[in-house]
Amino acid sequence: MAVVSTNDLKTGMTLELDNNLMQVVDFQHVKPGKGHAFVRTTLRNSRTGSVVDKTFRAGEKVERAMIDKREMQYLYRDGDSYVFMDNSSFDQINVEPATLGDAASYLVETNSAVMLMFGTEIIGVDMPASVELTIAVTEPGVQGDRVSGASKPATLETGLVVQVPLFIEQGERIKVDTRNGEYTGRA
């Protein structure tokens, strides 16, 4: 394991603390008028998703977890789990929906995804900022309903429901922001 000083923490860095993988969500270096400097952090457990606040002494050494990014292709859904194929070794791996989190709503069969791995354990998915998806079901826009900014619900090919403008029709491809799940435009 690589050892890193708390003075060198960065947002997104993953640490191994008490046999847990903790990702740095936020950090603040504090130098009070009296006493020693310290680093106040907000950490998210990569396995459970829980968020904790932890304070370290400035200069304290912590173990940095080495996270490997591998490109994998999403093949199909097998019961509750998702089946991915490693693009380099062609091994198939079953991934639980809890591991994927919100990324499961944006996965389409045969598309590639970058998996975050700690050893052989998948701890998450690195999604692009937006994805292109096809609208499976939506109501037609009503003639005369021209309220500025009006929207309607649309169910996408993955089952995700987003609000789209009235002029969008069934079968169209749209861009969806993966950070907040909102419609951003036509593809």
pLDDT tens digits for range 131-174: 889 999 888 876 665 666 678 889 998 888 998 888 888 899 99
Q: Tell me: do 111 and 152 sit in the same domain.
A: no
From 36, 64, 92, give the residue that closes a domain. 64
pLDDT at residue number 46: 82
Q: Tell me: do 77 and 56 sit in the same domain.
A: no
Average pLDDT over residues 170-181: 89
For residue 6, what pLDDT band results from cuts at 50, 70 and 90?
confident
6 exposed, middle or buried (CB, 10 Å; 0-12, 13-18, 19+)?
A: buried
Q: In this prediction, what percent of the chain has a pLDDT beyond 70?
A: 95
Q: How many domains does the chain have?
A: 3
What residues have CB less than 8 Å from 184, skipping those under 6 apart?
130, 174, 175, 176, 177
pLDDT at residue number 142: 67
pLDDT at residue number 173: 92
Could you give the count of Cα atoms lying within 13 Å of 37 in the half-sphere of its Cβ? Answer: 10
Question: 83: domain range?
Answer: 68-126
**Is residue 4 predicted with pLDDT exceeding 80?**
yes
pTM exceeds cut of 0.85: no
Q: Tell me: do 107 and 141 sit in the same domain.
A: no
Q: Tell me: do 120 and 82 sit in the same domain.
A: yes
From 10, 42, 64, give the residue that closes a domain. 64
Q: 116 and 123 in contact (C-beta within 8 Å)? A: yes
Q: Tell me: do 34 and 77 sit in the same domain.
A: no
- pLDDT per residue over 39-63, tens digit each? 999 998 887 778 899 999 988 899 9
pLDDT at residue number 180: 86
- pLDDT per residue over 80-133, tens digit each? 888 999 888 888 988 888 888 788 888 888 888 888 888 888 888 888 888 889
